[in-house]
Structure 1
């Protein structure tokens, strides 16, 4: 947390302790509210508390937050630096993404036209330049990128070393996964959809085992398309620590089957009449 002090010390932090981990040590000087397993049981109930364990504890933080904008950073993610060596203000960049419109209906080849130093490309319809509200900002990260287990096993030395100073809107009807390592969202717009939609039994203790955020991304993007909201991806960038996955063929096959089923489910649901879409997607995911 010391690395994040210049950025996080200005804000109230919610830390959710994984029941299987040791005591959390928090340096002085932070405005922190720590939630433990007993808090999860008190709010969720003992029968559902297991949903909020491992990497899924982040979703309990989403649940108890009462702010309009929620920004989530994994504990193994550290601040990145720009090409000039400046510390990336991950909060300011996420807020800028969420507070400026998104452009999902017509792709702007100059990336996000609302970022400093860019604008709409020639030929972009003036009727669409007002954009739509942005509900979700998906940041990226350097070093150990968020590959799935088979990819990490085949290419264990692959690292992301390119700092890309750009952000773009994910186009309408384009499906996407989501990672909770570095994201921000507008709770008033999509907070109800930010839940551990699908969790594999006895998994989720390491990032490459988790599938709930991938499936949650499919659901949230479908909801955003229906509600005419936008999703952005790109900056801000963080830096993830090293990982060393151990892959079992049976588990990998199961993960691929589940992800394929979930994608087909969301695509099928998106064909329903508009009045039924959101209810069906959220009910199916929870």
Structure 2
């Protein structure tokens, strides 16, 4: 399977804004965000005006926009808090959507260099997924890698990847009771690895740092695999 070509103008970055001053957040991400169109969705419960530094190609949506598009007050309530990011999904017309919350900053690798999570997500979507047979060498398509011994040749073409899901550092991704018991626990080890989630496996999925193919619902079944699509996750 050939790798998919993804252009910068085919990508929307959706930012859920729960804090009014986005200056620090945007400047941290400037080396990455400046290439793309941004959709910033302001939390309907946030009263202060947003502060956004210059130099970004962005559209800002507020409660009045949500009211106008959604209409029903009961549905509008579903877009409060970080769930406001999903309004960005409604208004985006791009093929690929990147979701980033305003409390996330770019990770740095073991050399202290900024990790371009957006580029990694796009690379994942360009690259086939391998959900039918687990490859212990992780991503067989990355430079210098290959398929592990015993991997069926008939499956090495892979299938189209439809969702890239990132992980975050610092706060461990626990459920609420576990976080209450271990409030000081942190995840600080950066791991540069890409894995395909096996077919029919279950995994927790956050709305933060994910990149779906927005048009996958209109693609043919044989383009995305037997179960409608497969996920690849990476470190964000």
Q: What TM bracket, shorter-length normalisation?
A: 0.7 to 0.9
Q: List per-residue Cα deviations over 1:210-237 (Å, max 9, x = no partner).
A: xxxxxxxxxxxxx97622x2201123x2
The equivalent residue for 1:2 is: 27
Query: What is the alpha-carbon distance in structure 2 between the residues aligned to residue 109 and residue 180 of structure 1?
Result: 27
The equivalent residue for 2:92 is: 65
Relative to its length, the structure with more helix (as a share) is 1
The equivalent residue for 1:87 is: 114
Superposition pairs of residues 79-118 of structure 1, within 5 angstroms: 79-118=106-145
Q: 1:42 aligns with which of 64, 68, 77?
A: 68
- Are 2:137 and 1:136 aligned? no
Q: 2:204 aligns with which of 177, 189, 208?
A: 177
TM-score, length of structure 2 as denominator length: 0.83
- Are 2:41 and 1:16 aligned? yes
Query: What is the alpha-carbon distance in structure 1 between the residues aligned to residue 84 and residue 142 of structure 2?
Result: 33
The equivalent residue for 2:230 is: 230
Unaligned 5+ segments in structure 2 are 1-25, 219-223
Query: What is the alpha-carbon distance in structure 2 between the residues aligned to residue 130 and residue 138 of structure 1?
Result: 21
- Partner of 1:78: helix, strand, or coil? coil
Query: What is the alpha-carbon distance in structure 1 between the residues aligned to residue 225 and residue 159 of structure 2?
Result: 10
Contact 1:173 1:225 in 2 (8 A): no
Contact 1:97 1:232 in 2 (8 A): yes
Check 1:224–1:140 CA distance in 2 against 1; reply closer, same or farther (3 A cut).
farther
Query: What is the alpha-carbon distance in structure 2 between the residues aligned to residue 82 and residue 116 of structure 1?
Result: 18
The equivalent residue for 2:191 is: 164
Q: 1:137 offset after TM fit, Å? A: 0.6
Unaligned 5+ segments in structure 1 are 192-222, 238-286
Q: 1:84 offset after TM fit, Å? A: 1.4
Check 1:10–1:102 CA distance in 2 against 1; reply closer, same or farther (3 A cut).
same
- Partner of 1:96: helix, strand, or coil? helix
Number of residue-to-residue matches in the alignment: 204
Q: List per-residue Cα deviations over 1:90-138 (Å, max 9, x = no partner).
A: 1110000011100000000011112223221111101001101111111
RMSD (Å), alpha carbons: 1.5
Q: List per-residue Cα deviations over 1:53-100 (Å, max 9, x = no partner).
A: 111101111111111111111110001111111111111100000111
TM-score, length of structure 1 as denominator length: 0.69
